[in-house]
Amino acid sequence: MTCYFCPVEAPCGDIEHRERFGVRYAEGQDVYQYVQHSGVLDLGQSAIQITFGLLVNYTTKIGFAPHSTLGLSFGRADIPKTFLQQLKDANVIDVLSYSVRYSQVSQYATGNLVVGGSAAEAQGTAHLPLKLIPGARRGIHVSIVSMTIAHAGASPAGGDSGRPTPISLDGSLALFDTGTCCIAVPYLVIAALVRYVRERIEADPRVETVLFRKDSLSSYMVRSHHVRFLPVIVYSLVGEGGKIVDVKIFPEHYVGWCNVIWCEVHIYAHSNGGEIVVGEPFFRAYDAHIDLENNTTAITAHPLRPSWEKALQVAKQPRRMKICDI
């Protein structure tokens, strides 16, 4: 969380008496409250007055405080104008849109954010229409047909012996969210990932488990020397004209920090009915341009880094530990 010190020209003496707005976070388990505050946004050659939120209270059932967030998605009827809408009203941008390009070097969420403008067309750019969930808060949702656990270079379609079999999710939606560190998938996908890895390390009789969690709230962990066996996670999404677009998330995108024994895997499973979320690992794999006015997103894959696995520290076989496992 980031502290904000109110300047003399925009004091906060009455902050406890201002109208509060509530927002759920941490998969809906917790709530934070914020109030409106005004300030000046310096744009270099000009400056504009904007309204933003100051967090004044929050719950912590899961033990994590909310992070400072620059909201760029659709607004809601019960909240003030979004940051993008304020920029458009001030003629800073001409359309409610933004582009995200993550760094492929840092394991943290670093990169470039460009507001306004149109998608930069490149070879392999795919366009995906956004979907509205009736009666629900608007988000960056895209129709998804299936998910597949696949070997690098393998076709996501299949069913024949030795070929990956898609896990049907027809009728579901995937949420694109830069504010989520992981990708959330149905448990069937986690189970398929575990089977995939186990088949490739079955020659080692000492291996009892593939993925570990210290508790139900923590990320999955994998042994460092098993990272090379991790698969590609393929999302089959519905693009323009009903064309199926296969989005491939490689281990270099969803494996986080590593030590000599463990690596963090930025994936978590939800129970039946949970939301499929495409978080930071997707944005490490693809550039994305989100157009909120035309309800479309354009995505372009980053080139893979051939030396990625060599940068990992690989440990000797660790002693067996009994923790929450799969």
pLDDT tens digits, one per residue of 304-319: 765 555 455 443 333 3
Q: Residues 177, 141, 139, CA angle at the centre, nearest 5°? A: 65
Residue 132 pLDDT: 81
Question: What domains does the chain contain, in order, with CATH numbers?
Answer: 15-69 (no CATH), 97-325 (2.40.70.10)
> What pTM was computed for the model?
0.81
Nearest-angstrom CA–CA distance, 278 and 267: 10
Residue ranges in the chain modelled with pLDDT below 50: 157-161, 310, 313-326
Residue 272 pLDDT: 57
Q: pLDDT (tens digit, 9 = 90+) per residue, 32-76?
A: 899 999 989 988 888 999 998 888 988 877 667 777 777 787 877
Residue 288 pLDDT: 94
E strand spans, the chain: 21-25, 30-42, 47-58, 97-102, 111-115, 126-129, 141-150, 167-176, 183-186, 211-213, 220-223, 232-238, 244-249, 255-258, 262-265, 267-270, 276-278, 286-291, 296-301, 324-325
* Helix spans in 78-185 (H): 83-89
